[in-house]
Each structure stands twice: as C-alpha cells, then as structure tokens.
C-alpha cells in the first residue's frame, strides 16, 4: 500500500535562511508522482512543486526545489531564502494511476514558522 | 475568479442534522475529487468523479455520506445524521489529466474548503 511519512511536526527557520522539510514514501508502483502543497491558515491547498518517478533531475520552482532520492524513497522539499509569508503547513503527497483516478495521499504535514 | 469554489465556507450544525456542501470545479476539468481533513492531519481521499460517473469511493465514505455530480458539472456532498466525528474541513479538487509527462501527473486544483462543525 502507498504511504507518505513526514516526521517533522514543526520546524523553525530564520528569515532568509534555507530549510529542508522531510518526506519519505512507500509504493510498489513504478510510475508515480510526488507533490508538495502549502496550506496557509486560510485553509486552501496551494501547489508548490511536482516530481515524476521517471524524472532524472530534481524539480525546481523558484525558491522551491525537491531533493528526490529514488533509491531511498525520499522527496524532501528545500525552501531557499525563507520569507515570513512561508509560515504555513506543508504537505507531501503522492499520486499514482489506478484505473482513471489519480487520487492523492498526503502525509501528516509539517508546520513551518519563519522567524524575523 | 475561475478557480474551484465551495459553498458554504463554514457550516455549524447540530448532531443528527443533514448537511449538503457544493463544489463548483474549474469549467473545463472533467475530474473531481472530494477529500476530508481533520485537525492536525493531511487530507484523506473520499471519492472521485470522472464527468458524472462516481468511479471510486473510499471506505471512509460511510452509508451516511453520498456524493453526486449531475451532468458532470458541480458536485454535492451530503452527510445524513451528522455525528461529532464528522467535524472536519471538506476539500474539493478538480483536474484535467496531463499527457506526455513523467510519472503520474495530474495537477489537482483545490477549493477553499467547507469547514463543518457538528455540535
């Protein structure tokens, strides 16, 4: 069965520094996708970055990069130059194709607080 | 605003009452998902529609829950005889499959959610 594990319930980072949020996953499928979402206090899930299982290079989106280590089944999110607005919950998620569905399974999340 | 919308944003109800939530997806998206998120947890999949067909339901979706998507447009999620354990954020997401991409890529766009409180 597919599973996502986020072992850091909460993290602090100083403004302008980089931070790494951990995510490990478990699946027997060869074709899958990994996502990171940001959820501010307003509740909306905001897509940050995607990594496909066959991608050889790590994904990057602006200040976000995904450190994909397939053999270790890890997909850590790196946020560079943290900003106060980065304070939020962050969820790692995985999808795979089952019939026509690409449902997401999520980890339990990491709450990031950026200190001024 | 052409994003996913959900109504109402907040709902407070007494135990035993029925509630219905509505989700309006992005117009060209033919796939629609419902998730439930309890406090301090990540969202959990409830059900999936492709056009008007409900193709997958989670075991979390008990007999008191029903979802519809008439004509493949908006969707409704109804909870009958609500219980305090139903208190959660109910999230809707819509998507359109991407082709020619690596892995399993389908970017789901989430609505703002409906927060249900059962007293």
Per-10-residue mean pLDDT of chain A, 116 residues long, equals 94 97 94 94 91 91 96 97 97 86 92 97
Q: How many CA atoms lie within 13 A of B112 on its CB side?
A: 11
Query: Residue B1's pLDDT band (boundaries 50, 70, 90)?
Result: low
Residue B104 clears pLDDT 70, i.e. is over it: no
Say whether pLDDT at B98 is over 80: no
Q: How far is residue B111's CA from residue A46's CA, in Å, rounded to a whole number? A: 10
Q: Closest by alpha carbon to B61, among B43, B44, B74, B84?
A: B44
The mean per-residue pLDDT over the stretch B13-38 comes to: 95
Confidence bin at B20 (pLDDT 50/70/90): very high
Average pLDDT over residues B104-112: 83
- Closest by Cβ to A104, choosing from B41, B45, B56: B45
Residue B103 has pLDDT above 70, yes or no: no
Q: How many percent of chain A have pLDDT more than 90? A: 78
Q: Are B104 and A96 inside 8 Å of each other by CB?
A: yes
CA distance A16 to chain B (A): 27
Residue in chain B nearest A94 by alpha carbon: B104
Grouping H, G, I as helix, E, B as strand and the rest as coil, residue B86 is helix
Mean pLDDT computed over B51-78: 92
């Amino acid at each position: 069965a597919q599973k996502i594990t986020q072992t850091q319930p909460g993290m602090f980072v100083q403004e302008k520094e980089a931070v790494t949020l951990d995510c490990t996953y478990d699946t027997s499928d060869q074709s899958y996708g990994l996502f990171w979402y940001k959820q501010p206090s307003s509740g909306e899930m905001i897509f940050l970055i995607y990594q496909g299982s066959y991608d050889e290079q790590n994904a990057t989106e602006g200040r976000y990069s995904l450190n994909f280590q397939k053999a270790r089944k890890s997909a850590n999110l790196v946020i560079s130059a943290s900003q106060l607005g980065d304070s939020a919950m962050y969820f790692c998620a995985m999808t795979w194709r089952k019939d026509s569905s690409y449902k997401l399974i999520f980890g339990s999340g990491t709450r990031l607080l950026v200190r001024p | 605003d052409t994003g996913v919308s959900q109504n109402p944003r907040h709902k407070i109800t007494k135990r035993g009452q029925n509630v219905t939530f509505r989700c309006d997806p992005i117009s060209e998206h033919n796939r629609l998902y419902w998730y439930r998120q309890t406090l301090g947890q990540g969202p959990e999949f409830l059900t999936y529609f492709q056009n008007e067909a409900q193709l997958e339901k989670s075991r979390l979706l008990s007999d008191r829950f029903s979802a519809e998507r008439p004509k493949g447009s908006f969707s409704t999620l109804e909870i009958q005889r609500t219980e305090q354990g139903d208190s959660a954020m109910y999230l809707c997401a819509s998507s359109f499959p991407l082709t020619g991409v690596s892995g399993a890529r389908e970017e789901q766009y989430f609505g703002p959610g409906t927060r249900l409180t059962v007293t």
